[in-house]
Amino acid sequence: MLGGTFDPVHLGHLRSAVELHEALGLDRVHMIPAHVPPHRRAPGVDAARRLAMLEAGIGDTPGLVADDRELRRQGPSYSGDTLASLRRDYGARARLVMAVGADAFFKLHQWRDPQRLFELAHVVVIDRPDHRQALPAEVNRLIAGREVDTAGALFARSAGGVLHLRLPSRMAISATGLRERLAEGRSVRYLLPRAVEDYIRVHDLYRWQELSG
């Protein structure tokens, strides 16, 4: 699972998902847009359109799935509930991975019931060149004794481990940066898929009014 607001999806997300799929030999990567993100301001663009951009961005990429399960739930989109739903689909013995970028991992202690996340899945942390900070003590306490160095060690169990991954094509692209560029009328070419750029233009998204409204 790679969850996020995807407001909008960009090549940092998509290339990370492809390389994650490859590096860990995963069956598939479920990219899951949050309906109502619990820990941040409501996105300017509604979940249905963020999902449509994700679908356009993924296109026919092997191994990547645009998964709408959080859109089908009411209320805040807690990752524990999403992992529980994936666990129901794949069964108790499946090896589940929750992938997060380094920025999201730094705030893991603020997520709802972080211990439950480790009961349901492994956590794989993707290095981001634009986010480098020391881990807060609360996160260090949460992951004590869970860290492993290889995918083999991680997958010896079905959940509960932590693996840090430095994927080959690290990209300093953020959705915040893209929204700023779009609001200022600057180019976003080669930062997100052309199909997503076209969707944004056709639907007239991320103009200044939406950002400030």
Give CA 136 to chain center in angstroms.
21
Q: Return the residue matching tokens 């959940």.
A: 159
H helices within the chain, ranges in order? 11-24, 47-58, 79-90, 102-105, 114-120, 137-143, 151-154, 175-183, 194-202, 208-212
- Residue from 7, 67, 70, 197 in contact with ligand ATP (CB under 6 A): 7
Q: Which of residues 19-78 bind ligand ATP (CB under 6 A)?
A: none
Q: Please report whether residue 140 would count as binding ligand ATP according to CB under 6 A.
A: no
Rg, the chain, Cα only: 17
Total residues in contact with ligand ATP, by rule CB under 6 A: 18
Q: Which stretch binds ligand ATP (CB under 6 A): 84-92, 170-178, 180-188, 190-198?
A: 170-178
Rounded to the nearest whole angstrom, what is the least distance from the CB of residue 120 to ligand ATP in the complex?
A: 17
Is residue 195 a contact residue for ligand ATP (CB under 6 A)? no
Q: Are 31 and 61 in contact (CB under 8 A)?
A: no
Tokens describing residue 167: 């994927």
The answer to whether 126 contacts ligand ATP (rule: CB under 6 A) is yes
Residue 93: CB minimum distance to ligand ATP, A: 26
Measure the CA–CA gap between 89 and 49, rounded to whole angstroms.
25
Stretch that binds ligand ATP, among 12-20, 84-92, 137-145, 146-154 (CB under 6 A): 12-20
Contact positions toward ligand ATP, by CB under 6 A?
Answer: 4-7, 12-13, 16, 100-101, 103-104, 126, 128, 171, 173-176
